[in-house]
């Protein structure tokens, strides 16, 4: 459809195209007309129509607003938010806190002003007066960066969530102006990286589309990486460098690059093993992964450092996934099972149980692995899914009956569904009510994919009766 329209338009005369654009503009309200003209025709015309064609006055307004932000002139506390809700809600007795905060901040003066000023700065950036747009944007972003770092200015440290602008487009325009404005390529790339560090993924496309010097960019990115101790930021830097190399059409040796960064953070073993695995160097991936798992031990059971524990476990999970995959590629299913079992013990979930079980079928004992899952059950719902999947219906029933109904409601509902689904499955002619009830099984782990066991009529009746009792 789009291609057909594009072809027809490309065949039209300029006069005919102009008529079509004018007709489309007539269908828009003023705000959409101004925005469309600024984006696609003439940004200066939109500025004139808005009465915002005085560059000095615009910069002065930006400066005054930013100073007010820094002076906490727009600060809101809990009582301000509650007052707003009380004045604007029809039901003051039941509201969702997240909805309330979101609604409040989007309607604040500072959010609306940021939105308006960014919109105007983007119009200037699209017009011939790039200098004004760049200066305004630079000052607004500097102000916003401080607001992101400290909630004492506005009452929130996530102001970008409430500002109505297309961040990706804004940064693409800003980066384009930056590289026109700054003659020194090293300084321009350094500033581009600084924005990326402060504002994250919103800047990625702008960075990749404007940075052309791989060597300079690599030095700046790696300096930023090594000067940080934050693993999440370091990994983002590594990925940015990889993306840049791909965009520039240059080779990126993931394993070699990551190996050179292990001294900065041992977690880069994750990317070394990933690079070796992606390069189909299975044995080297195995050897490196085994070394990495020794250097990055499991999270201690008594550790309370939730943030760092999660990062470490995620790294171990990634390394072990590559280790497991490499063993499978070499058809070493004994070691693959051991790797899968270790992963399941560290991060128990149903998907890992199924994967390890599948490997156990190729040489290890499935029953022994089920016993291990029972011993390591850290979350009650998981063992119920495993019993359902395996067809361990007596154990499943014991589980349902082990607690009072009021303390076991959702577990009993799941177990009842498991019994009934195992009895009738997706059989036809079971009645609309039961059919609708069983349709929920298609979304339940351990039920939709349960192992098919042959049941006779008496067994099916017992299953149905137990399911009915649990309901």
| 149, pLDDT greater than 60 | yes
| 287, pLDDT greater than 70 | yes
pLDDT in tens, 22-71: 565 556 555 565 565 546 545 565 555 555 678 898 899 999 999 999 99
pLDDT: which is higher, 90 or 419: 419
pLDDT in tens, 230-269: 999 999 999 999 999 999 999 999 999 999 999 999 999 9
pLDDT (average), residues 451-457: 72
pLDDT in tens, 315-348: 999 999 999 999 999 999 999 999 999 999 998 9
| 178, pLDDT greater than 80 | yes
pLDDT (average), residues 266-287: 97
Instruction: Give the range among 183-187, 242-246, 395-399, 462-466 with minimum mean pLDDT.
Output: 462-466
* Confidence at residue 426, expressed as pLDDT on a 0 to 100 scale: 59
CB 437, CB 443: distance < 8 Å? no
* Confidence at residue 4, expressed as pLDDT on a 0 to 100 scale: 72
* Confidence at residue 430, expressed as pLDDT on a 0 to 100 scale: 57
| 136, pLDDT greater than 60 | yes
User: How far is residue 31's CA from residue 452's CA, in Å, rounded to a whole number?
Assistant: 61
pLDDT: which is higher, 406 or 444: 444
User: How far is residue 342's CA from residue 336's CA, in Å, rounded to a whole number?
Assistant: 10
Mean pLDDT value across the chain: 84
* Confidence at residue 357, expressed as pLDDT on a 0 to 100 scale: 92
* Confidence at residue 23, expressed as pLDDT on a 0 to 100 scale: 67
* Confidence at residue 274, expressed as pLDDT on a 0 to 100 scale: 97
pLDDT (average), residues 152-167: 92
pLDDT band at 210 (very low <50, low <70, confident <90, very high): very high
pLDDT (average), residues 168-181: 91
pTM metric for this prediction: 0.80
Report domain extents, the chain: 265-330, 333-375, 379-471
pLDDT in tens, 300-312: 877 788 888 899 9
C-alpha closest to that of 396 among 421, 427, 365 = 421
* Confidence at residue 183, expressed as pLDDT on a 0 to 100 scale: 85
pLDDT band at 120 (very low <50, low <70, confident <90, very high): confident
């Amino acid at each position: 459809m789009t291609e057909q329209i594009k072809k027809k338009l490309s065949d039209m005369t300029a006069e005919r195209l102009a008529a079509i654009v004018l007709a489309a503009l007539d269908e828009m309200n003023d705000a959409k007309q101004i925005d469309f003209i600024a984006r696609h025709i003439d940004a200066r015309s939109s500025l004139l129509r808005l009465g915002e064609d005085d560059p000095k006055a615009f910069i002065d307004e930006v400066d005054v607003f930013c100073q007010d932000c820094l002076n906490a002139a727009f600060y809101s506390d809990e009582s301000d938010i509650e007052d707003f809700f009380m004045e604007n809600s029809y039901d003051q007795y039941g509201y969702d806190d997240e909805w309330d905060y979101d609604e409040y901040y989007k309607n604040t003066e500072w959010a609306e002003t940021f939105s308006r000023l960014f919109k105007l700065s983007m119009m200037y950036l699209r017009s011939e007066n790039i200098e004004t747009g760049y200066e305004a944007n630079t000052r607004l972003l500097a102000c916003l960066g401080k607001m992101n770092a400290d909630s004492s200015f506005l009452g929130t440290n996530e102001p970008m969530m409430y500002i109505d602008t297309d961040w990706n487009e804004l940064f693409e325009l800003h980066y384009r102006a930056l590289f026109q404005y700054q003659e020194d390529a090293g300084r321009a790339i350094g500033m581009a990286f600084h924005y990326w560090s402060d504002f994250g993924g919103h800047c990625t496309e702008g960075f990749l589309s404007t940075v052309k010097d791989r060597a300079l960019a690599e030095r700046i990115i790696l300096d930023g990486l090594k000067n940080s101790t934050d693993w999440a930021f370091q990994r983002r830097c590594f990925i940015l460098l990889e993306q840049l190399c791909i965009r520039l059409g240059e080779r990126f040796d993931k394993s070699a690059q990551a190996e050179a960064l292990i001294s900065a953070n041992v977690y880069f073993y994750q990317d070394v093993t990933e690079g070796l695995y992606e390069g189909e160097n299975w044995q080297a991936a195995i050897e490196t992964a085994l070394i990495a798992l020794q250097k990055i031990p499991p999270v201690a059971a008594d550790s309370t450092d939730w943030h760092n524990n999660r990062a470490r476990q995620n790294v171990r999970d990634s390394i072990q996934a590559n280790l497991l995959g490499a063993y499978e590629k070499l058809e070493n299913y004994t070691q693959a099972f051991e790797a899968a079992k270790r992963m399941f013990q560290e991060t128990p979930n149903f998907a890992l149980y199924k994967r390890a079980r599948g490997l156990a079928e190729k040489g290890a004992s499935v029953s022994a692995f089920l016993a291990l899952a029972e011993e390591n059950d850290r979350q009650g719902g998981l063992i119920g899914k495993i019993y359902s999947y395996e067809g361990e219906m007596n154990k499943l029933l014991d589980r349902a009956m082990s607690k009072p109904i009021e303390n076991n409601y959702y577990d009993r509902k799941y177990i009842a569904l498991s019994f009934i689904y195992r009895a009738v499955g997706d059989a036809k002619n079971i009645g609309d009510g039961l059919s609708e009830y069983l349709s929920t099984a298609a979304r339940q782990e351990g039920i939709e994919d349960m192992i098919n066991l042959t049941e006779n009529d008496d067994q099916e009746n017992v299953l149905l009766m137990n399911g009915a009792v649990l309901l």
